[in-house]
Structure 1
Amino acid sequence: MKRTVSTRSDLDDSEEASRSSTSASKRWSGAAIYKTKFQESWIKKWPFVQPVKTNIHQFYCTTCSKNISCGHQGEADIVRHSSSEQHKSNAKSLRANTKLNFQPITRAEVKVTNLLVQHNVPLAVTDHLSPLFREIFTDSKIAKGYASAPPHFKATLVDTMRCSPFSVAIDGSNDNGLEKMNPLTVRFFDEGSGLVVTNLLDMCLTTGKAESIFTKMNEVFTNNGVSWDHCIGAGVDNTSVNLGVRNSIRTRVLQKNPNTYFMGCPCHIVHNTALKASSKFAELTKFDVEDLLVDNYFYFDKSTERKNGLAEFCTFCDSQYKEETNNRFQRLRQLYTNPMTEVYLYFYQACLQPFVHLNTLLQRNDPIIGIVANQLIKFLKTLLGKFVCVRSIKEADHLTTVSYTTRENQLDDNALHIGFSTRSLLRKLLDEGDISPQQVNNFYRAVRNFYEEATSYSIANLPLHDEVLECAKFVTFDARETALFSQVEFFVQRYPNLLPFTSPSEMTLLSEEFTSFQLLDREDVPKKVWESAVITMDNETNICQHRMDLIWAYLGSVKSLDGTFLYGRLAKVAQLVLVIPHSNAEEERVFSLITKNKTSFRPSLMLDGTLSSIIQVKLANPEPCFKYEPTKEVIKTAKKATMTYNRAHTSGASQSESM
């Protein structure tokens, strides 16, 4: 046999080749990690996999309820896991179980949550609702699966703002914290219900400066993808922060949309008118009705015996005694021993009626923009009629040009409107010698001061020459015959992007619809529509007040025989006009809701969290809680939110236990 001899160099080459082969095998071993990322296409191929938001190199197995790495070999990792005994066992168990229908359970959860929100029930009650329902309704499958779930309405509001005209309202809270609540509410026409509704968009926690408030408003709009072009009006009160000529919310909003309408709040103006007039009245009489209220409060507040006496007096007068009152009183003895005090109170009872009537009207929740102009003129005419001769009022070109301060144009003392009871009491006290003629003359001078100051302040501050209010009259059904097409045209020209009827052909069709609207009779609108639109009814006069939004919702749905809408264009214009705010009373209602919800039972509600969500739910659901029916989308979202919350808190609890 032939022997093979290896040289030294051959051995060296062999060892080097062996070492290189060994290092290569180690470098490409199966333990390598390639950092494979999760692919969305895997979900279609393997329905049980879901992405993990916190780690792109993992997938979540819904069958096994755990995260698994896919960073090694990607799809091969999924195949390897699906072939494991644990996964097969879990999948077999799921197939054997009957699928539960959670929709009725979640529906019950949403409805009960709405009940808690609507009636200001402490949220801690929910901890006992689930076991209580299961104990009471032992045969109910829904009760057995009950657990709380919160609804959410903000997404629907934002979608509406993106495609429809709306107005906003904002007002600052009067607290003294580092941040003020500036609830931003949105007013829009809801096509589903045919109503103009108001919902809360954001709580807007800022300081009280105009710059910070507008910055927060603009931030909310930007984050939700809402354009200022759709904002047709803004409801604010009359402070310089809101309506100042420079550096105000108004100036900043108009930079975004020059056509946004600002009127201020006539409710505040009417209140301030009465306040200014009362101050003038007190200059001569030395009688301040607010001091009287302060005196009475402190007199009764600290004495149980006096409270009992007041309760007995209320029982004698067949009126209800309220233990907690907001009226504050001071210096009672001097006021009640003065016989003129009763005269002053009778006068206030008579003269404040026009103020109360107008203020109550302007606080209505339904859209009344079409009657505001006439009501303001009526209020001014009523004030002038109290102390000015009818001849002087008629001779003036306009109510604002009446020479009401001239003594010759005013009524005599015995003709001044002070109220029948006031005049009777005044004569009685004078005849019995309880008061002097000088006191009577001084009283009449004070009355003239009251009416003059009220008229002066009203003319200077009320929007008596507002073009928007004048043109909005056409939306009132009973004013259709005296309305002008130029009023409709005004809004088309002001908001061309939202009302695309500026072309000659469209304007002609709009004019024809307007003429057809003017020719309508009241009977052309079905009786059931009028009945559904009733707001209030005076039983003595049988006079009804109706919501114009429901009337225009019906007119916008009327079709001709060929299937076209008879008032389609005109209804769009009217519905836009009805969205314009007529006061800022809605913001005050929001603060009232906040007070009722952030109580001593719920003192720690986050202003921009839970409290904001509660107010959103309340404004979005004005009907009674037992009539609320959540949509399928709300039920689905509520269940998903509950599962996410439970999963997060379960994982957090398990981590704390392991630590």
Structure 2
Amino acid sequence: MKGRHNSVLSRIKNVQPEVLDIGCICHLANLCCVYAVKQLPMPVEELLIDVYFHFNHSAKRKEQYHEFLEFCDVAPLKILKHASTRWLSLEKCINRFLQQWPALLSYFESHEDRERPGRVKRCADYLASVEMKAYFRFLSFILEPLNAFNTIFQTDATQIAILMPEMNRLLRLFMAKFVLMRAIKSATDLTKVSFADRSVQLDDDILAVGMAMRTMLADSEDDLTDGTRTHISKSVRLFYVAIVEKMVKIFPFHNTVLKDLAVVNPDPKLCNTWSPTMVRNLATRFSIVADDEVEHLVEEFQDYQLSPDDDLPAVTSDSRVDTFWAEMGRKKTFVGAVRFPLLTRVMTTLSVIAHSNADSERVFSMVGKIDTDSRSQLGNDSLRALLSCKINTDDPCYAFVPDKDLCNAAKVATWNYVREH
């Protein structure tokens, strides 16, 4: 898709060299997570997958496991399937796994194949390992902020204006888990912090691992040697270095267009900090206004910055960027002329820039649920019509009441189809 020489992106750039490529931030965040988890010395993801497929196609094993759930007084919730391509999968699977850990440990320790080489022995050994459980508790703690970031950019609302500040905030948050505060605060560019240098990292006893993991390690003091504790701390440190290193490498921190796109954010606390040059750069970069209109655009932007809050649409935490600029486009002067014609044209155009491809992924998922094996003969027109109904209908399907004309049209279409086929 994004190869340098013969890819979709390279071919698009042959036609339009100025195309903006920032990647899908949700996908990039997931790649960072996958890369960091693989740095842990124990196969967390393999254990999740092994346990899931042990029960997946066996009703007998599920029934036997239900007895262990009752014995251990654990809620009989379904074991979730982990898929690395699902962006929010890992945290949910780990939390469910931790909730059922006592029952799973009891089940695999009591299994008749416990001593035979294979999946059961492998699962039993890992479940009995305090180190493995420590990594599970650590991941339950550290994946929450990463998934919260991912969730923000899976919405269909315009979020391109907050992409750069949120990326920087996420990087600061992860650095603060293992890097000295003075090293972070003194840096003018976060990507230049020497986070891999042990001299600027926190000591093992104050490394951020989460209260659940810290409590478990304290309770397991007799079961863990000093060498094992040191090994766990080293592994956590490697995880942090790996995820920050991956973020610095693949996140678009130095994309000047993304930095300028912050002006789309209507937050009144930030509005006066933006430079008119940012608007000028964006309007020129995307050819939204003519060259002789740029100075008028800058004047409108300055008028917008100097306007009192009461003279602008109200902005709350639930306000949408596109709604705000649509209301700005309806602002009139005392003589009835549109007050911000160029500015609103630029801002509404910039608002359509996608911050991720989550919306497209949802459409692909909808198509997969419509074009099933039992409906494989659907034509493209029918598929598009069904997809359009699904996307553009906010009410649940059972609440839809077709009118008489629609029912008659459907009957006529059915009779015509039967007659022709």
TM-score by length of 1: 0.53
CA separation of 1:313 and 1:460: change in aligned 2, threshold 3 A: farther
Map of 1:560 onto structure 2: 333
2:70 & 2:326 partners in 1: Cα distance?
A: 53
Q: Which of residues 366, 379, 382 is equivalent to 1:593?
A: 366
Are positions 1:358 and 2:358 aligned together? no
- Contact in 1 for aligned 2:49/2:81 (Cα 8 Å): no
- Contact in 2 for aligned 1:413/1:444 (Cα 8 Å): yes
CA separation of 1:254 and 1:621: change in aligned 2, threshold 3 A: farther
1:468 & 1:457 partners in 2: Cα distance?
A: 21
Task: State the one-letter code of the partner of 1:308.
Answer: H
Describe the SS at the equivalent of 1:465.
Answer: coil
Q: How far does residue 373 in structure 1 lie from its aligned partner after superposition?
A: 0.4
Q: Which of residues 51, 54, 66 is equivalent to 1:299?
A: 54
Task: State the one-letter code of the partner of 1:616.
Answer: S
Are positions 1:275 and 2:29 aligned together? no
Q: How far does residue 349 in structure 1 lie from its aligned partner after superposition?
A: 1.1
Q: How far does residue 366 in structure 1 lie from its aligned partner after superposition?
A: 0.6
Map of 1:485 onto structure 2: 276
1:368 & 1:629 partners in 2: Cα distance?
A: 35
Map of 1:579 onto structure 2: 352
Map of 1:616 onto structure 2: 388
Are positions 1:367 and 2:185 aligned together? no
- Contact in 2 for aligned 1:293/1:327 (Cα 8 Å): yes
Map of 2:109 onto structure 1: none
1:546 & 1:567 partners in 2: Cα distance?
A: 20
2:401 & 2:300 partners in 1: Cα distance?
A: 37
1:321 & 1:649 partners in 2: Cα distance?
A: 48
Map of 1:475 onto structure 2: 264
Task: State the one-letter code of the partner of 2:138.
Answer: F
Map of 2:254 onto structure 1: 465
Deviations 1:440-473 (A, max 9, x none): 0001110111111111111111100112211110
Q: Which of residues 299, 311, 320 is equivalent to 1:512?
A: 299
- After TM superposition, the structure 1 = structure 2 runs for residues 380-459 of structure 1, keeping only pairs within 5 Å, are 380-430=171-221, 433-459=222-248
Instruction: Name the structure where helix makes up a greater proportion of residues.
Output: 2
Task: State the one-letter code of the partner of 1:254.
Answer: K
Describe the SS at the equivalent of 1:486.
Answer: helix
1:607 & 1:413 partners in 2: Cα distance?
A: 61
- Give the percent of matched residue pairs that are identical in Structure 1 and Structure 2: 28
Give the gaps of 5 or more residues in structure 1: 1-241, 535-543, 654-659
Describe the SS at the equivalent of 1:247.
Answer: coil
1:645 & 1:369 partners in 2: Cα distance?
A: 45
Q: How far does residue 645 in structure 1 lie from its aligned partner after superposition?
A: 7.6
Give the gaps of 5 or more residues in structure 2: 84-96, 98-118
- After TM superposition, the structure 1 = structure 2 runs for residues 113-152 of structure 1, keeping only pairs within 5 Å, are none
Q: How far does residue 526 in structure 1 lie from its aligned partner after superposition?
A: 5.2
Task: State the one-letter code of the partner of 1:374.
Answer: P
Instruction: Name the structure where strand makes up a greater proportion of residues.
Output: 1
Q: Which of residues 351, 364, 378 is equivalent to 2:169?
A: 378
Q: How far does residue 495 in structure 1 lie from its aligned partner after superposition?
A: 2.5
Are positions 1:321 and 2:41 aligned together? no
- Contact in 2 for aligned 1:621/1:628 (Cα 8 Å): no
CA separation of 1:561 and 1:450: change in aligned 2, threshold 3 A: same
1:417 & 1:306 partners in 2: Cα distance?
A: 39
2:397 & 2:215 partners in 1: Cα distance?
A: 51
CA separation of 1:455 and 1:252: change in aligned 2, threshold 3 A: same
- Contact in 2 for aligned 1:362/1:583 (Cα 8 Å): yes
Q: How far does residue 313 in structure 1 lie from its aligned partner after superposition?
A: 7.5
Describe the SS at the equivalent of 1:489.
Answer: helix
Q: How far does residue 598 in structure 1 lie from its aligned partner after superposition?
A: 3.0
Map of 2:11 onto structure 1: 252
- Contact in 1 for aligned 2:260/2:279 (Cα 8 Å): yes
- After TM superposition, the structure 1 = structure 2 runs for residues 152-191 of structure 1, keeping only pairs within 5 Å, are none
1:307 & 1:608 partners in 2: Cα distance?
A: 46
Deviations 1:300-330 (A, max 9, x none): 332142353366489x55x5734x8424995
- After TM superposition, the structure 1 = structure 2 runs for residues 196-235 of structure 1, keeping only pairs within 5 Å, are none
Are positions 1:264 and 2:37 aligned together? no
Describe the SS at the equivalent of 2:351.
Answer: helix
Are positions 1:606 and 2:361 aligned together? no
Task: State the one-letter code of the partner of 2:162.
Answer: I
Describe the SS at the equivalent of 1:281.
Answer: coil
- After TM superposition, the structure 1 = structure 2 runs for residues 45-56 of structure 1, keeping only pairs within 5 Å, are none
Q: How far does residue 608 in structure 1 lie from its aligned partner after superposition?
A: 3.2
Structure 1 or 2, whichever has the larger Rg, is 1
2:71 & 2:365 partners in 1: Cα distance?
A: 31
TM-score by length of 2: 0.81
- Contact in 2 for aligned 1:501/1:510 (Cα 8 Å): no
1:295 & 1:644 partners in 2: Cα distance?
A: 51
- Contact in 1 for aligned 2:66/2:76 (Cα 8 Å): no
Q: How far does residue 560 in structure 1 lie from its aligned partner after superposition?
A: 1.6
Q: How far does residue 619 in structure 1 lie from its aligned partner after superposition?
A: 2.4
- Contact in 1 for aligned 2:126/2:132 (Cα 8 Å): yes
CA separation of 1:548 and 1:629: change in aligned 2, threshold 3 A: farther
Q: How far does residue 384 in structure 1 lie from its aligned partner after superposition?
A: 1.2
Q: How far does residue 266 in structure 1 lie from its aligned partner after superposition?
A: 1.7
Q: How far does residue 649 in structure 1 lie from its aligned partner after superposition?
A: 5.5
2:311 & 2:399 partners in 1: Cα distance?
A: 31
Describe the SS at the equivalent of 1:360.
Answer: helix
- Contact in 2 for aligned 1:386/1:417 (Cα 8 Å): yes
Aligned residues: 378
- Contact in 2 for aligned 1:300/1:306 (Cα 8 Å): no
Q: How far does residue 476 in structure 1 lie from its aligned partner after superposition?
A: 0.7
Task: State the one-letter code of the partner of 2:77.
Answer: Y
Output the aligned Cα RMSD: 3.0
CA separation of 1:628 and 1:501: change in aligned 2, threshold 3 A: farther
Task: State the one-letter code of the partner of 2:349.
Answer: L
- Contact in 1 for aligned 2:183/2:193 (Cα 8 Å): yes
1:293 & 1:434 partners in 2: Cα distance?
A: 24
1:310 & 1:471 partners in 2: Cα distance?
A: 57
2:380 & 2:313 partners in 1: Cα distance?
A: 45
CA separation of 1:522 and 1:343: change in aligned 2, threshold 3 A: farther
Q: How far does residue 607 in structure 1 lie from its aligned partner after superposition?
A: 6.4
